[in-house]
A and B are shown apart, each in its own frame.
Chain A
Amino acid sequence: MSWFSDRHLFLLAVVVYGLSTTYSVFLWRKGFRRDDHVNYLLLLGAFSLHTSAMFLRGFRLNHCPVSNLYEATTFASWSIVATYLALGLWPRLRFLGAFASPVLFGIGVFALMPSLDAPPHAINSQVSSVWTSVHAALLSLAYGAFGLSSVAAVMYLTQEHNLKLHKLQAIFSLLPPIQRLEAVVGRLLLSGFVLLTVGLALGAFALAHMPHPQAYRGSPKIVWSAVVWLLYLSLIIMRWKFAQGGRRFALGAIGSFVFVLLTFWGTNALDALHNP
Chain B
Amino acid sequence: MEFGLNESQEILRDSARRFFAGECPMSEVRRLMETDTAYDVALWSKLAEQGYTGIIFDEDHGGVGLGKVELILLMEEAGRALLPGPFFSTVVLAGSLLNSVATADQKKKYLAPICRGEARATVAILENKASWDLNDIQMAAVGGKLSGEKLFVSDVAVADWILVLARNGVFVVEKGSPGLTVSAMASMDLTRKLYTVAFHNTPAERLGDLAAAGSAIDIATTAIVAEMVGGMQRTLDLSVEYAKTRKQFGKVIGSFQAVQHQCADMYLETESSRSAAYYAAWALQENAADARAAVSIAKIYASDAGRTVGNRGIQIHGGMGFTWENDLHLYYRRAKASETAFGDATFHRERLARLAIDTKSVASQSA
Q: Do A and B come from the same complex?
A: no
